[in-house]
Structure 1
Amino acid sequence: MGRLRRQKGDVVQYSQPYPGTRRPRARRFRPGWGPTLAVLLLLPLLVGLGLWQLGRAEEKRQLLAGYEARRQADPVSVLDLERQPDPAFMRVRLQGRFDAQHSLLLDNRIRNGRPGVELLQPFYDPASGLWVLVNRGWLPWPDRRTPPTFDTPAA
């Protein structure tokens, strides 16, 4: 506490600011060697990982754009498909028949909160001699005691 000085009668004036009103000393940020070293080592690594993620995102955008372009393209024949270096997501034109005797039901497929199955059927293309497994879509299966019914298109 400061010293009291008397002036002009009863007026009291302090030589220092009133206790409790002092300005706090300015604190300086002084991290130790450990945190400084950790930041210096990890910062380039984290920046590099961020740039890597941006590169991967661009690769994925290009990949998905390529798949979408293939999905929108006209269908190709099976013989043309065999000559493609990367046939993923290409539409194919087939002529043949489904084999209803060897149909598969892929269970536990929920759609809009309803239980169902995916219908998978083998398809034979006599022109190429290939058998292709075709996902014909989702079927509702409300009563688990009886299998779902489906129609197979005739050849």
Structure 2
Amino acid sequence: MFVTASLGRWQLSRAAQKEALQALLDQRAAMPALHQRQLPGGADSGMGALSDVVHRAVKLEGHWLPEHTVYLDNRQMQGRPGFFVLTPLQLEGGGGVVLVQRGWAPRNFQDRLQLPPVETPPGLVHLVGRIAPPPSRLYELGGGDSAPGSSRIRQNLDLAAFRTETGLALMDLSVLQAGPRSEGLQRDWPVVNAGVDKHYGYAFQWFGLSSLIALLYAWFQIVRRFLRPRQRPRA
């Protein structure tokens, strides 16, 4: 009983931490969009690390480097499997290179090696997005990054290894491109959520289990003993 109650209190403390995180995320979402010069390592950057700007909106302008486009396989959007399409963007004015998660495209299940038709505009492009960590890794067998450059279709992408492979001055972040569907890509990215409700749900379960244990203890150790008929002493 005491263990389950302690676990319930721990989940409440985690919920309080996540509420503070959610407040920070909401605050950053309401801030004006950063300019690319304000990114960590940029000319006008006052930010020391990715954690200072993650989930902030940002405006970028530069030129796509389509020869380095990568298709991350087994990624879902709205429950449909397909590719996340990633293309480096050479920032205008020599401000480095940002890996842009441009959107999602469906795959051809009859020919799993066929790439989806994605347009990559030439010349100077302007885009708005949200600063994010590099793409999350999926479980894979045999180390899918062991042969870099062997295929544009990959299970995962390690940013440091990709920087070495391409020779590009990639920043230690990525940008989720925002906006309506275009260029053959869908951009219905999930809403950033710290997951506060999950911890309240776990806390409710632990406290409920603690209450059940207390009731069972009271029934078997107190109530049943009180209700049990007393034996009369023999004459």
Q: Bin the TM-score by the shorter chain.
A: 0.5 to 0.7
Give structure 1 stretches of 5+ with no counterpart.
1-41
Amino acid at match of 1:74: P
Rg (Cα) greater in structure: 1
1:149 aligns with 2:117: yes
Contact 1:98-1:152 at 8 Å conserved across structures = yes
Contact 1:118-1:135 at 8 Å conserved across structures = yes
Cα distance in 1 between the residues matched to 2:16 and 2:10:
10
Change over 3 Å in CA distance of 1:70–1:147 after alignment to 2: same
Cα distance in 2 between the residues matched to 1:95 and 1:102:
18
Cα distance in 2 between the residues matched to 1:63 and 1:117:
30
Higher RCO, 1 vs 2 (CA within 8 Å, ≥6 residues apart): 2
Deviation at 1:49, TM superposition (A): 3.1
Cα distance in 2 between the residues matched to 1:144 and 1:65:
45
Question: What count of residue pairs does the alignment treat as equivalent?
Answer: 113
Change over 3 Å in CA distance of 1:87–1:144 after alignment to 2: farther
Deviation at 1:135, TM superposition (A): 0.4
Amino acid at match of 2:65: D
- Map of 1:99-110 to 2, 5 A cutoff? 99-110=65-76
| Aligned with residue 98 of structure 1, among 59, 64, 78 | 64
Amino acid at match of 1:97: H
What SS is found at the alignment partner of 1:136? strand
The aligned residue for residue 89 of structure 1 is 55
Relative to the length of structure 2, the TM-score reads 0.43
Identity %: 34
Cα distance in 2 between the residues matched to 1:61 and 1:106:
32
Cα distance in 2 between the residues matched to 1:48 and 1:143:
49
The aligned residue for residue 67 of structure 1 is 25
Deviation at 1:113, TM superposition (A): 5.1
Q: Which moved more, 1:75-84 or 1:58-67?
A: 75-84
Cα distance in 1 between the residues matched to 2:12 and 2:109:
48
Deviation at 1:81, TM superposition (A): 3.2
Give structure 2 stretches of 5+ with no counterpart.
41-45, 125-235
Contact 1:79-1:128 at 8 Å conserved across structures = no
